[in-house]
Amino acid sequence: GEAQRRPRLAGIGLAEPHGRWQPFASEPSSSSNGVRKPDSWWQDELNRRRQERLSRPEPSKAAQQPQSQAPHESSAKRPVYAGPSEEEQEEVQQSASKMQLFAYPSSRRFPFATAVLLALSGGLTVGVAALWNFRVCRAQTVEELRRELDFFTRTISNCSASWTEVRAGEVHRLALASILWAGQQPARMVADAAALACCGTLLERLYGSSFVLLFFGASTVLSNALALYANEQITKTDSSMASSSGGIMAL
């Protein structure tokens, strides 16, 4: 029965590694009785590939080591940049001084004029706020409220300006209108104070305290006068102005 089953295996195929189907009938027989076993051809193919892989020469480690060390050797031999020479540094400094790329006042003295302007404006603003919160708002009787409110109103009106008052000779109002910072948002007050401190300090160290005081006062008076005149010509009304920042914008 075994001898009768073996010839039937000749018509059964076996898949190769590349996916081809080869019948055993077309292959030569390698067994003694003329019938080849199903796994003999595939075993021979695996043995042949294993022999080819083992017989293939491998590169030695000595040949690989110089290639891996070549970049390190080249980087080690590369000279290190020691920085610009004295002649190059002097040339760069001369070019920068001609173009004034890093110009800044050499004086480091305390900006007295800027500090006086900040103290005057901040002190007047804090004083008016304290007058409102601690005297007007805490009045107990109607007579006391009227008295405190009248004093507060006269103080505020002295720090405002109108075109009629300016034409009457009250020119000092043009300067006081920019000293008092009342009714402003906190962000604007911080921005005005920062601009006055930074720009005032820089200009004072460049040109002196007298220049800052004269420039700030003249620009404040001129800008407020032009604003009042334009307001009267456009709106045809006599409006009052307070808490302006023309001098700070000029700085």
User: What pLDDT does 18 receive?
Assistant: 46
User: What pLDDT does 195 receive?
Assistant: 92
Tokens of 152: 């507060």
Tokens of 148: 């405190």
pTM value surpassing 0.75: no
Tokens of 114: 């800027």
Residue entry with tokens 């030569």: 28
pLDDT surpassing 50 at residue 26: no
pLDDT tens, position by position, 105-146? 667 889 999 999 999 998 998 999 999 999 999 989 999 999
Contact 251, 243 (CB under 8 A): no
Distance of CA 64 to the CA centre of its chain: 49
User: What pLDDT does 29 receive?
Assistant: 44
pLDDT surpassing 70 at residue 228: yes
Contact 111, 208 (CB under 8 A): no
Average pLDDT over residues 215-238: 90
| Of 7-21, 28-42, 80-94, 199-213, highest mean pLDDT | 199-213
Q: Where are the beta strands (DSSP E) in the chain?
A: 13-15, 21-23, 161-162, 240-241
